[in-house]
Amino acid sequence: MPSEIFLLIMSTFVGLLFIVISIPLIRKKVPPNKWYGFRIYATFYNETVWYETNKRFAKDMFKLGVLVIIAGFALLFAPMPILGKVIVFAIIVESGIIAIIIRAWRYANYLLEQHKHTSNRGNIP
């Protein structure tokens, strides 16, 4: 049981970390920078793309944080060996991170294309 308690503590820590990191991004308090936020070409191209993409990315990260905490509690009572619990936990975290990165990347590129399209409309005779 001590290993399960450690997994619960780790899942709570990881979940809370995701939540805490996401809050300033959701509130649009983080300007474009090279350290913090979802940083790709599209988000650096335009501030609106930066703030909107990071807001969506952070909302997904917040949800993942809640899911990770819930999963930690659920795994505490799951009838499987600790190695299985660790593997399930790792799959939840890793697949969640991959999913939100892909979603944010696609959204940022979509917003960038929308911005380019609307900004070029004024140049068409």
Kindly give the confidence (pLDDT) of every residue in the chain, 125 residues in length, as a single tens digit, with 9 standing for 90 and above. Answer: 688 899 999 999 999 999 999 999 999 999 999 999 999 999 999 999 999 999 999 999 999 999 999 999 999 999 999 999 999 999 999 999 999 999 999 999 999 999 888 876 554 44
Question: pTM score, two decimals?
Answer: 0.89
Q: Please check whether residue 124 lies inside any domain of the structure.
A: no
Q: Please check whether residue 108 lies inside any domain of the structure.
A: yes
Q: Please check whether residue 98 lies inside any domain of the structure.
A: yes
Q: Please check whether residue 125 lies inside any domain of the structure.
A: no
Give how many domains the chain has, as a whole number: 1
Q: Residue 47 CB: number of other CB atoms within 10 A?
A: 11
Q: What would the 3-class secondary structure string for 82-98 be?
A: HHHHHHHHHHHHHHHHH
Q: Please check whether residue 77 lies inside any domain of the structure.
A: yes
Print the domain residue range for 56: 2-119
